[in-house]
Structure 1
Amino acid sequence: MMYYSSESSDSENNAESCSLDFSYLMLDTDSLDVHLKNSVREQHLRRYALHKFQSKITETSQGKCYSGTRPRCSDEDESVRHYQCMSTSASDGDPDLDTENVHDTITLNLQLQHNMLLTLPFEIIKFSNLKSLDLSNNNLSHINDFLLQLPELEKLYLHNNSIMDDGLPKDLSTLRKLRELNLSGNHLTRVPTQVYGMSGLRFLYLGSNRISEVLPDIRSLQSLQVLHLGGNLLETVPDELGELQQLGALVLCDNRLRYLPRAISNLTRLRSLLLHKNILCCLPVGVVKLRGITELSLRDNPLVTRFVNSCARELMYNPPSLLELAARVIKLKRLEYTSQDLPQTLVTYLSSGHRCVNPKCKGMYFTSCVEHIKFVDFCGMYRVPLMHYLCSSRCSSKTPDYYRASSSESESEDDEPAARMKRVLLG
């Protein structure tokens, strides 16, 4: 499933009306360069002719026209006919007709998809006001640095090419107005480090690559609203993903994820969470807190299809060792000791204790943090296993309550996200 920008504005409507389309022509880079150059030249000649035509009208209205008669037509058709006459004299040496150093300032949307491009055509730098550039479905393996000479660019589509990790310019942060970047369907093995510096990005598509790692630097993309990482080789995602407070859609389907970080529950604006085709045995219990989520896709995961056989054995309770039990007593009873009383290894061990993640429990653990599964109803018909972490088996009697924000919340309030959920895709 692919998400697209839903933003709409007057500038987008203008982009549609000021588009230049060379898609589906099967052009190579050199051929496209010629087409772009001719387009810029034609636009310049048209502007030149229109300028001359308007000047002629002005002179006529001031009584300076040699014929003494004023042209009757001042509409666009007349200017086009005048342009056709003027273009035949383009070689007369008029400096205003220098077409080598002119830029296209009219085109806002340039469509070059479905050609045979191996590199970017150089003439692209002459489209200085370009807002949207579509280079998808070509044979690009490297994006030239002169892409950075398009300062107004807001949308860049590079999906379905052959771009590798070193195929992008070293610094993309100069494209400060870029809001949407699509790099899906390439040969990336990691999220390009250049992307982490693009703090203004709102839509980032990296699906169907070979990405096996997302760095904690993902936290820098604070404006991100859609993150698509489906169809990769991810086994884990970092906790820092939970810091993307504007995120509304997170696509992690078709990876190798076994667990999700608990920080996912911090994504309070999340509306769509796609997790199908992974090896998830359970979800973090904090998913219940995502009260705004309307779409949750879980199909083709062991938590739905093979939960008991795949996961139950791994979640069997292993009692803590005598060493841990003794250490718990020392810490809970606050028994005093010094480094002279105990070997250094035991002092270090005692300092490594963890408080129970259950806020209603005052317990402590060192290594035996028990994993406990609770099944929760979604949409009144699906039983979804959520992961709990317990410091001891005693906590299991209170596990239905421990994730609540306050003790005054009722069971119906816990079920509120399920009531709001529009789609839970389990099969």
Structure 2
Amino acid sequence: MEFYSSESGSGSDSGGARDSCSVKTLDVSYKQLENCELEEAVVEGGWRGGPLHNLVASHNRLTSLPESLASAFNALRHLDLSNNRLASLPDFLVQCPLTALVAVNNQIPNSGLPKTFAGWSSSLKMFNLAGNRLDRFPGQLAELISLKHLYLGSNTIEEIPTTIDRIVGLRVLCLGGNRLSDIPESVGRLEDLEVLVLSDNLLESLPPTVANLKRLRTLQLHKNRLRTLPTEIITLSCLSELSLRDNPLVVQFVSDMANEPGNLREISARVVKIAGLAYSTADLPQSLVNYLNSAHHCVNPTCNGVYFNSRVEHIKFVDFCGKYRIPLLQYLCSSKCVKEDHRPSSPQSRFDDMMRKVLLG
């Protein structure tokens, strides 16, 4: 059986030996390895010739990691154990200086995790336990104060602990495909969060504190039971991707926003822009000139309507293949976009018709 081993570094001395910055990687994925064969694979991979930094052992038949590998892993930084049959992670792993641990699609329950993650508190940056048998959010994660990326999707987690805000530097939090019915307000204290995935859960609402996530770029909420969104969400200036499909709120959201009248300033400004009327600071105050200059054209290519950032924020709805940017506060900007025939139709079909008009003309 052959294994792939590689070594990279920033340079070498005159004798050709690698310097202390070299990184050793061993790839034993797709080898159908059993537990007893993993140690042999690591030894044959040459870890005794120097510290092993990266091990890829995905897509094998592992049900556990032999304790005999502890000494071989004393310099391990990246470990990929995805797509095996693991029922636990051994305690000795917490003594390894890991920065990334991937154990996707295994059979690990909460009882199969080490009792403490304290050994990783200052090193682990990425932890992926998606597709396992976790029925609770592991409390040990609160010890990982340096964690940046956390993936716990496709488990059966029912609750997020209020202590999640202890992972202060978290940037990506993926919890899609669980059984969450509520989100604690403490999530709003994850000030560095950029990606929040909560799709395919049982959520009926979000806490207003989500508006505190000023760096949030992506928010996935599809396949939930949401009937409303906190109005504070419009203050998320960095938010650029939002998914909402398969939620009860969508039909009502479009209906409410389509029928909400604009204020007098906006209606007047739309007339000026649509009619192409000339204006300058000689005619209007500078504030109104700036407002008129902030106009954007409707995303519907057959519509000449305009809208303004003071009322409408751009959001890319990834439900439509990530292709379109649609106003968040009001999908439709003019009568051309809301004109419908009078044939009987369901709320969903009316929504589909309106979205097609906006997106496709």
1:415 aligns with 2:360: no
What residue number does 1:32 align with?
A: 38
Alpha-carbon displacement from aligned partner over 1:300-323 (angstroms, at most 9, x marks no partner) = 111124x49xxxxxxxxxxxxxxx
Helix, strand or coil at the partner of 2:119: coil
- Which structure has the larger Rg over C-alpha atoms? 1
What residue number does 2:100 align with?
A: 155
Question: How much identity, in percent, do the aligned residues show?
Answer: 39
Which residues in structure 2 correspond to 1:64-79 (within 5 Å)? none
Give unmatched runs, 5+ long, in structure 2. Answer: 1-9, 11-19, 264-287, 292-306, 321-351, 353-361
Alpha-carbon displacement from aligned partner over 1:103-144 (angstroms, at most 9, x marks no partner) = x41x32100111111111334321322110001111111111
What is the TM-score when the length of structure 2 is the normalising length?
0.66
Does the CA-based 8 Å contact 2:146-2:169 persist in structure 1? yes
Which residues in structure 2 correspond to 1:131-146 (within 5 Å)? 131-146=77-92
Deviation of 1:423 (Å): 3.2
> What root-mean-square deviation, in Å, do the aligned CA atoms of Structure 1 and Structure 2 show?
2.9
Which residues in structure 2 correspond to 1:253-332 (within 5 Å)? 253-305=199-251, 307=252
Alpha-carbon displacement from aligned partner over 1:362-404 (angstroms, at most 9, x marks no partner) = xxxxxxxxxxx9944xxxxxx699xxxxxxxxxxx9xxxxxxx
Does the CA-based 8 Å contact 1:16-1:109 persist in structure 2? no
Question: 1:17 and 1:289 mapped to 2: Cα distance?
Answer: 44
Deviation of 1:17 (Å): 6.2
Give unmatched runs, 5+ long, in structure 1. Answer: 1-9, 48-103, 309-372, 377-382, 386-396, 398-407
- Match 1:174 to one of 112, 119, 135: 119
What residue number does 1:349 align with?
A: none
Question: 1:303 and 1:33 mapped to 2: Cα distance?
Answer: 53
Alpha-carbon displacement from aligned partner over 1:43-94 (angstroms, at most 9, x marks no partner) = 54xx5xxxxxxxxxxxxxxxxxxxxxxxxxxxxxxxxxxxxxxxxxxxxxxx
Question: 1:424 and 1:38 mapped to 2: Cα distance?
Answer: 46
1:23 aligns with 2:29: yes
What residue number does 1:345 align with?
A: none
Q: Hey, which bits of structure 1, 4+ residues long, moved more than 3 A?
A: 14-17, 373-376, 410-416
Q: Which has the higher contact order (CA 8 A, sep 6+)?
A: 1
Question: 2:31 and 2:22 mapped to 1: Cα distance?
Answer: 20
- Match 1:120 to one of 65, 70, 74: 65
What residue number does 1:164 align with?
A: 109
Deviation of 1:197 (Å): 1.3
Question: 1:291 and 1:374 mapped to 2: Cα distance?
Answer: 24
Does the CA-based 8 Å contact 2:26-2:42 persist in structure 1? no
Deviation of 1:422 (Å): 3.1
What residue number does 1:237 align with?
A: 183
Deviation of 1:160 (Å): 0.3
Question: 2:157 and 2:186 mapped to 1: Cα distance?
Answer: 17
Does the CA-based 8 Å contact 1:303-1:384 persist in structure 2? no
Q: What is the total number of aligned residue pairs between the two structures?
A: 259
Residue 264 and residue 15 in structure 1: after superposition, are their counterparts in 2 closer, same or farther (change >3 A)? farther
